[in-house]
Amino acid sequence: MTTAADKPKGWMTRDIAASVVVFLVAMPLCMGIAIASGVPPEKGLVTGIIGGLVVGLFAGSPLQVSGPAAGLAVIVFELVRDHGLSALGPILVLAGLFQLTAGIFRLGGWFRAISPAVVHGMLAGIGALIVVGQFHTLFDAKPLSSGLANLAAVPGRVMGLDPSNIAGTEIALGIGLLTIALMIGWEKLRPTSMKLVPGALIGVVGATLVAWLASLNVVRVSVPESIAAAVAVPDAGFLAPLTNPALLLSAVAIAFIASAETLLSAAAVDRMHDGVRTDYNKELRAQGIGNLLCGAAGALPMTGVIVRSSANVQAGATTRLSTVLHGVWILGFVALLPWLLREIPMAALGGVLVVTGARLISLKHVTHLFAHYGVLPALIWAATFVLVVTTDLLTGVLAGLALSLIELAPHVRRLNLKVDTNHSAERSHVRLDGAATFLSVPKLNKTLDALPEGKPLTLELHGVPAIDHSCAELLREWLGRQRKRGYEVELLGSSAHLHRLAA
């Protein structure tokens, strides 16, 4: 446990400053993701408050920030469209219970075994759906019922513009495009002294000022006078929707996707700093508690989110205080200044989400997979992406997971990876024997995390006939982190394995 004496000098000042930065990043994203999910913006703010005040206190990743995530916007949109907002609360309560149970039974490490190709394909598909959905919000219109319907309606929206008659639609589009231009322009041109000021904030503030000063007739955000009005207290029939088997499956899907996104985000946060490592089971329990409370309050589901978490680390946060305080600032702002939120144009938040969604569609991941691991991982990425866009999120993820099993076929006789660890006074020695596949990720990750920190290490791979991309990515990231700290790691094995891990 970290004591006050272990913390760096000035840690409290740094955490308070970081919390303000995270708050400024989180505010527009909380509202924008709520709108992309088909629910009122205050629902996203409630989730952000719970993510800070509650999950921040119990999280197993102290510097990770939790709140509403773009990765769940599509599945929530479909749930609310098909079953109504009242069904979301009980589904989240059940999903939270699943996460809490998984954490209690120490299943957190298994979520690390999910193929990176599936995860990045899923995120890219979600990004594409957000872009085509929020494209319509730029026109002060509501997104349609599916990704393909939204895509098909894009030409009609564009052709319907009339430059000779600048009215509500054209003005809203101008506000949305202004937001996008300000976001991207600020992030490319901002001075070093202001690098922590987020582009989303600049975009929304700039667009809101223009709309207010010019008294533009565009649709604006609607929030209640009191944040308490955004909380839906459960009634006697609260759990009734769970008698529908389809909704039980939705709860499983949300728990699975939220857990995977959270723990992969936590792993990414660990790579950004040299402080306390993530306790994955504790993080899973904290997320379960958070989603239980979000369900009871009628808010959006939450996950650990990489954009806010990376802002937290880059702003110099050292403890969980920054995460907790960002929730305090959201609560204070919403409670004291709701009138200011009501001046924000909806098209401005649509612009923020278009940029956010576009950044999820990272072709860098699939080109990296193809270049280093061959056709199959790239095919898994592509299949997951296409099916998420054309069918639904769960179908895409399940198809990706099924395709991942093909990677096991050539190594079915040696799937049980044996890990032998020996420690001497001067050096640690780890020897692997068997195929290193995604099934081995939890065991391998646990072994690496348990090694004495700073002691020279020899990692022997002579007994490993194959390393799939899931294990290779885990080892590459771990080796990179050790070498960045200046620790000595000696790799022994075939030239093919050494080349792959050094890439």
DSSP 151-202: HHHHHHHHHT--TTS--HHHHHHHHHHHHHHHHHHHHHH--GGGTTS-HHHH
Q: CA-CA distance, 231 to 334, in Å (whole number)? A: 13
- Residue 9: predicted pLDDT: 64
CA-to-CA distance for 416 and 440, rounded, in angstroms?
8
The DSSP code for 405 is G
Query: Which of helix, strand or coil describes residue 66?
Result: strand
CA 182 centroid distance within chain? 24
Helix H, strand E, coil C: the string for 346-374 is: HHHHHHHHHHHHHHHCCHHHHHHHHHHHC
CA-nearest of 254, 241, 331, 300 to 99 is 254
CB 242 within 8 A of CB 248: yes
Rounded Cα distance, 348 and 180, in Å:
8
Sorted by where each begins, the domain ranges of the chain are 11-350, 363-410, 415-502
Any bridge partners for residue 345, and if so which? 220
Q: How many CB atoms lie within 10 A of CB 193?
A: 7
Q: Are 16 and 322 in contact (CB under 8 A)?
A: yes
Question: What is the signed CA dihedral for 448, 451, 453, 454, rounded to 10 degrees?
Answer: -90
DSSP tag of 42: H
Question: pTM for the whole thing?
Answer: 0.83
Residue 431: strand, helix, or coil: strand
* pLDDT tens, residue order, the chain (503 aa): 455 455 666 788 889 989 998 998 899 999 999 998 999 999 999 999 999 999 999 999 999 999 998 889 888 998 999 999 999 999 999 999 999 999 999 998 888 788 889 988 988 888 898 898 888 888 888 887 777 888 888 888 888 887 767 777 889 999 999 999 999 999 999 898 888 888 999 999 999 999 999 999 999 998 888 888 889 888 888 999 999 998 999 999 999 989 988 988 888 788 778 778 899 999 999 999 999 999 999 999 999 988 889 889 888 899 999 999 999 999 999 999 999 999 999 999 999 989 988 988 888 889 989 988 889 999 999 999 999 999 887 889 889 999 999 988 887 778 889 999 998 888 999 999 999 998 898 899 889 888 888 889 999 999 999 898 889 888 988 888 888 888 899 999 888 888 888 75
User: Which residues are 66's β-sheet partners?
Assistant: 304
Considering just the CA atoms, what is the radius of gyration of the chain in Å?
23
CATH code for residues 415-502: 3.30.750.24
pLDDT score for 158: 85
Residue 1 confidence (pLDDT): 47
pLDDT score for 7: 67
Q: At a CB cut-off of 8 Å and minimum separation 6, what does 71 contact?
A: 122, 123, 126, 257, 258, 261, 303
